[in-house]
Amino acid sequence: MSDIIRSPFGPIDPREGFFYYDEAKAQHAISFIEKLIVHTKGRHAGAPFLLDPWQKEEIVKPLFGTVFYDDQYDEYVRQYRIAWLEMARKNGKSELLSAFALLGLVGDFEESAEVYSVAVDRDQAGLVYNTAKRMVELNPILNNRLEIIDSKKRIIDRKTNSFYQVLPGDAAGALGTNPSMVLFDEVLTQRDRHLWDSMRQGFGTRRQPIMIAATTAAYRTAAFALEEHEHGLRVTENQNLDPARFVFARNVPDDWDWKNEGAPPSAEHPKGTGWYLANPALGSFLNINNLRAEAMEAAEKPTAQNAFRVFRLNQWVSQANRWLDMHLWADNGSQTVLRERLKGRPCYAGIDLAATGDFNAWVLLFPGSPSDPEADGWTVLPRFWVPRPAVERRSNMKASFEVWEREGFLSVTEGPTTDFKAIFRQVAEDAEDFRIRFLGYDPWNATQLISELEEHGLTAVKVPQSAARLNDPCKAIESQLAARNLYHGNHPVLSWMADNVELDVTGDGLVKPSKAKSGEKIDGISALANAFFLTAIPVEEEVHVTFINFAENHSDAELEALLTPASRQAEREDHFFPDDDD
């Protein structure tokens, strides 16, 4: 094989000739893609899939052209068994995986090939399949040869008894497979390595199996993907650590100013710098104006900034900063919020209750400004309670608590534990004065009080405290702050809590307020998020809730009896959303 030369991509190995680069094998993969695969979306739909230079030179050629001699098969086979492709979003990862899937199905010289798309769930894996299916439909040669069974998300090549199939997103679905090629999309969403290992360990009897994983960077809470990312970086420094692993990773350095666009590839910087480094498709099929618009938004929103760094600069970000920009928060508090001017207006209520002896928060969220219910934005009316012993224990905050109590911003109740009677009375008064559409609550510690509130007319809705449920409310808070439309009157207790909030961030960027990370109290922001959650629920009709006047009709003893566990009803399942696990 005279056309085989020493591979520039392989490790330095003491065995002479261990790695080689076969131009013919590399060119076969390129020709298959460019002559048989077409684009499926936008203005290029139906046009040949002509690889960009970076796709051709940095991925396809080394991945499919680097070979070694396998003495068992007595032939040269692909060196790489795992390919790790890591770049920012919208740089064509899924489309490239789809092209590779069809190459593995009909262009890899593998009899009875088994090609699989896997991801965290069937829908995510189906994204690669759907694109591959459309590629087949738009090419007469592939369309005549291959059979699509869409109900099973399966494409069959009967000539070689081969198939391409979407697998469910769990390790159990991988049992019994004998893959020749695996397309693993968005590894960042994998909670653990079970599915990865299940697919990898099915390679045993194949001549040159390969698993091609494509992902964007993630938050460092995505432990499995981070582990593979860091291993890949070590391999790029020393290929001898894992000769069977190919790594393509475009990550902007952590100390780069994220607002600096950088420069396109040049002689000095062949891969470009800044945005161009993480987004090799910039100037080709990725429009820089989209990134500029996102960067402008990120300048106003801390979580949007982190998302920009993760998904556009391909940086692995640790969420260790406070969530809200307090200068922006203060800008939203310029208008005074007066209870009297809000009477009779509709609102949503969020509540966050302490276990025994700590802060409790009740937040009313009104559509409109403090003076105009038809204006854009939302008006916030919060209330807070804390037992006296909790104030005495907090020497560092005691002076502030005393000022807030004196000025009416904080209700300090007597007794060692939460005074649910005081909270109940205030809720009853608010229910008389305002049209509370729904009450959102964390079910963990609210069963007893919520049961009584429901009995007296409020419609309560569980708000599971998971990132999947609280992500949208958090984004709503950010958006309203950025628009200067969250009118909170600079309530000092709520502002203190806003300054304390840190977020839990999932690997794929979903967020929720984190009491564990925040250190200081954030109950008011948690209650505000619960209230924003309710704004997505359709309101069928306006209902004005009339409460019994407990102040006149019930003694403390009677009210205490109402709120004892003996009178608690079984917790009702809400009819709007299912429960989530944290």
**In terms of domains, do 224 and 347 share one?**
no
Domain membership flag for residue 545: no
Q: pLDDT digits over 529-570, tens only?
A: 999 999 998 876 554 455 544 444 555 555 454 444 333 333
Spatial contact of 364 and 535, defined as CB atoms under 8 Å apart? no
pLDDT at position 574, please? 41
* Confidence at residue 174, expressed as pLDDT on a 0 to 100 scale: 62
pLDDT at site 219: 82
Of 169 and 245, the one with more pLDDT: 245
Average the pLDDT over each of 101-110, 153-162, 353-362, 408-417 and give the range with the smallest value: 353-362
Supply the pLDDT for residue 322.
65
CATH number of the domain where residue 405 is located: 3.30.420.240
Does 365 lie in the same domain as 216?
A: no
Phi, psi of 182 (to 5 degrees): -125, 130
pLDDT at 211 over 90: yes
Q: Do 78 and 197 belong together in one domain? A: yes
pLDDT above 80 (res 579): no
- Within a domain: 27: yes
Q: What is the rounded average pLDDT of the residues 427-453?
A: 88
**For residue 5, what pLDDT is reported?**
59
Q: Is residue 392 part of a domain?
A: yes
| Overall average pLDDT of the 357-373 stretch | 94
Q: What is the CATH number of the domain that holds 199?
A: 3.40.50.300
**Host H or E run for residue 367:** strand 360-367
Residue bearing the bigger pLDDT, 258 or 354: 258
Q: Domain end: 224, 249, 274, which one?
A: 249
- Do the Cβ atoms of 443 and 353 come closer than 8 Å? no
CA 79 to chain centre: 34
Percent share of the chain, pLDDT over 70: 86
Same domain, 245 and 357: no
Outline where 366-397 has alpha helix (H).
388-393
- The 10s digit of each residue's pLDDT in 502-527 is 888 888 888 899 988 876 899 999 99
Average pLDDT score, the chain: 86
Confidence class of residue 171 from pLDDT cuts 50, 70 and 90?
Answer: low
Q: For the residues 270-275, what does the mean pLDDT come to?
A: 96
Q: Does 219 reside within a domain?
A: yes
pLDDT of residue 229: 94
Same structural domain, 244 and 350: no
Q: What is the pLDDT of residue 568?
A: 35
**pLDDT of 304 above 90:** no
- Checking if the pLDDT of 480 tops 90, the result is yes
Residue 44 lies in a domain: yes
Q: Are residues 349 and 241 in the same domain?
A: no
Same domain? For 222 and 98 the reply is yes
Whether the per-residue pLDDT at 576 is higher than 60: the answer is no
**Mean pLDDT lowest among 110-114, 334-338, 356-360, 560-564:** 560-564
Domain count, the chain: 2
In a domain, 284, yes or no: no
Indicate whether 571 pLDDT > 60: no
Q: Which has the closest alpha carbon to 178: 156, 207, 150, 158?
A: 207
High-pLDDT (> 90) share of the chain, %: 60
pLDDT greater than 90 at residue 158 = yes
Residue range 262-281: mean pLDDT, rounded: 96
3-state secondary structure 143-206: HHHCEEEHHHCEEEECCCCEEEEECCCCHHHHCCCCCCEEEEECHHHCCCCHHHHHHHCCCCCC
Q: What is the mean pLDDT of residues 379-387?
A: 96
The whole domain housing 415 covers: 340-538+554-560
pLDDT of 147 higher than 80? yes
- Render pLDDT for 61-77 as a digit per residue (tens, 0 to 9): 999 999 988 888 788 89
Query: Is 194 a domain residue?
Result: yes
Domain boundary residue, one of 206, 223, 249: 249
Give the pLDDT score at 550.
43
* 243 and 344 inside one domain: no
Q: Are residues 171 and 53 in the same domain?
A: yes
DSSP notation for 50-110 = PPPHHHIIIIIHHHHHEEEEETTTTEEEES-SEEEEE--TTSSHHHHHHHHHHHHHHSS--
Residue range 338-366: average pLDDT?
Answer: 92
* C-alpha to C-alpha distance for 176 and 116, rounded to whole angstroms: 13
Domain boundary, last residue among 211, 232, 249: 249
Give per-residue pLDDT as tens, 14-40: 455 567 889 999 999 999 999 999 999
What CA dihedral angle connects 405, 407, 409 and 411, to 10 degrees?
Answer: 30
User: From CA 343, how far away is CA 348, in angstroms rounded?
Assistant: 13
Q: Is residue 234 part of a domain?
A: yes
For residues 120 and 226, membership in a common domain is answered with yes
Cα angle value 436/442/447 (rounded, 5°):
85
- CA neighbor of 497 nearest in space, from 301, 346, 361, 321: 361
In this predicted structure, what is the pLDDT of residue 263? Answer: 96
Residue 513 shares a structural domain with residue 389: yes
Tokens matching residue 259: 């607002």
Q: How far apart are CA 350 and CA 176, in angstroms?
A: 49
